[in-house]
A and B are shown apart, each in its own frame.
Chain A
Amino acid sequence: MPSLSIHAGGLQLNNPILLAAGILGTTGASLCRAARAGAGGMVTKSVGSLPREGHPGPTIVHVDGGLLNAMGLPNPSYKDFQDEIDTARASGVPVIASIFGSFAAEFAQIARSLKADAFELNLSCPHAEKYGSELGRYPDLVESVTGAVKAASSVPVWVKLTPNTADIVELGLAAQRGGADGVVAINTLKAMAIDIETGYPILGNCFGGLSGPAVKPVAVRCVYELAGRLEIPVIGVGGVSTWEDAVEMIMAGASAVQVGTALLRGYGVFEEITTGLSRYLERKSLTLEELCGLAGRRRS
């Protein structure tokens, strides 16, 4: 079997299929379970500087081709999260701490205080006031937050980008200028659903983020555009649920791939995807490096 081990975004990974932020990432035990199931790395639930309970329910709605969610960044604050990260890191698989804040110094303070294998900056959650995409849609803020975290931390820093913008490449370039070791694309698409019996917006927060197969073509396009313009690696995320999806994302230019909504099927998705990817590479006599960005090379 071809090796799936890669170096991506400053991390050495046994395989390129990672657990995405916000999915089964609240406890060290559930992150370890992803490691045992074959994840190449795990991104934690996003943590901020103060405890948050998140939005009232419903926090998810199943829609055609995907899932809407508005969890609202529930977290116990970084001060109460190191134990969970330590438990997860004991698995031996890299743990990427997702962090959020509303200004650069807040991000930097969290990054200074937490020990993890890397940080992923949540500059893209579409449904929390004063956080996420409310900062992340401005290139100058993306650059300054990234720079502040890089200065505060000695581990790789990834920046998760929002697709809810006219030009995601501009945001990616800003992250690169700030010194990011990689960008992660995409977060969910801002969306909503309405209960036609009563007219109530279904999500407790009214707005949420769309994930799942419906967003995959958007994610593939974003990864393709970013990979074509950035010098730093792109980690692809958005609607990947099968090994074929992972191959497509890697061909678009992703060095690694995160899986989120597909976990609705259970932890078995990691092995399904890595096994399928491995067999594909064998059948095509390709390495991961050769597969990465193949679509862009076909066009040039």
Chain B
Amino acid sequence: MRPINTVIEEVRSEAPLIRTFRLDRNLDPAPGQYVMVWIRGVDEIPMSFSGPDTITVQSVGEASGALFGLSAGSSVGLRGPLGNGFVLRGKRILLIGGGVGTAPLAFLGVQAKGAGIKVASLLGFRSIDDLIFQDRFEALGDTIITTDDGSLGIHGRAAAGLKELNLFDYDQIYLCGPEMMMWDIISRTQEHAEKTQACINRYFKCAAGICGSCCLDPEGLRVCVEGPVLMADRLLESEFGRYRRGPTGGKGPCRG
């Protein structure tokens, strides 16, 4: 499959460094799946869906910066949807998101609510300035917000919001955000790991399960095709939260 030419129909600013791009086609993704976005002449990068025809992007590097240079009417090449997304299970679910990682959860929450599932959310942001999708989550159900600087909601990291919740109330927990935020949640809620689905990030090159750049120790899970959504119990004894490999394949610290 060659990259599919796709026109950007609309660009919406969500926060100073976060934008949502609405595409001219619905690739029928599952929430948690990703798409490789080719910004021609620059690079190809993986992006999560925030809706059936939208991706929500934080500007962090050259390629995402180049994407921010595109406006409605510009086009990109797409490969996807790829990987395994979230699977809806049970009657009551909890979404735990951090920063731009809330994007696939907002998409999942809408599908869940449409299926009659009761949705609650715990969302962490650096500050009120970085807040995104507040209305979308509040329309789904009870929403707890934390900010690192205390500018909105509970003062602290996302995990600080856990004390407001009884995780036994939920059939399934869905997690997406910066790695250290997710690791903080997973390591504090280990007894719930078997019902926690985490959408994780590794360095993807081929996004086809053959180059090996995204393999997770110690099992060698190919995150680009066997993830990016993995059950948290598979992460507990893995490299997740401890180290990650970068573009060279060398080990480095986890971000965020």
Q: Which residues of A contact B (CB under 8 A)?
A: 22-33, 45, 51-54, 56-63, 67, 69, 71, 74-77, 80, 193, 195, 197-198, 200, 202, 204, 260-261, 263-264, 266
Contact = CB atoms under 8 A, between A and B. Distances in A.
Contacts of A200: 40-41
B250 A25 contact: no
A204 B62 CA distance: 14
B210 A26 contact: no
Nearest to A88: B220
Nearest to B218: A29
A32 B42 CA distance: 35
Interface string B1-42: 111010000000000000000000000000000001010111
Given A25-B212, A26-B211, A29-B215, A74 B222 contact: no
Contacts of A53: 246-248
Given A45-B212, A56-B43, A74 B248 contact: yes
Contacts of A63: 2
A69 B206 contact: yes
Contacts of B206: 59-60, 69, 71
Report, nearest first, the 6 A-B pairs whose CB atoms are least far apart: A57-B44, A76-B250, A29-B220, A53-B247, A30-B220, A33-B220
B178 interface: no
A33 B215 CA distance: 11
Given A53-B247, A58-B38, A74-B249, A197 B75 contact: yes
Contacts of B211: 22-24, 26, 59-60, 69, 71
Most buried by A among B38, B40, B208, B212: B212
A133 B256 CA distance: 41
Contacts of A31: 220
A67 B2 CA distance: 10
Given A23-B211, A29-B219, A59 B44 contact: yes
Contacts, number: 129
B151 to A, nearest CB: 37
> What DSSP secondary structure best describes chain B's contact surface?
loop
B45 interface: yes
B43 A202 contact: no
Given A30-B220, A30-B222, A202-B2, A264 B209 contact: yes
A26 B44 contact: no
Contacts of A52: 248
Contacts of B245: 26-27
Interface string B220-255: 101000000000000000000000011111110000
A54 B2 CA distance: 21
B184 interface: no
A76 B248 CA distance: 5
B244 to A, nearest CB: 11
Given A30-B212, A74-B247, A202 B219 contact: no
B5, B63, B218, B248 pick with most chain A CB within 10 angstroms? B248
Contacts of B246: 53
Given A23-B212, A26-B245, 5 more contacts: A52-B248, A56-B44, A58-B79, A75-B248, A264-B210
8 contacts: A26-B245, A27-B215, A58-B79, A61-B3, A62-B208, A80-B251, A202-B3, A260-B210
Nearest to B225: A266
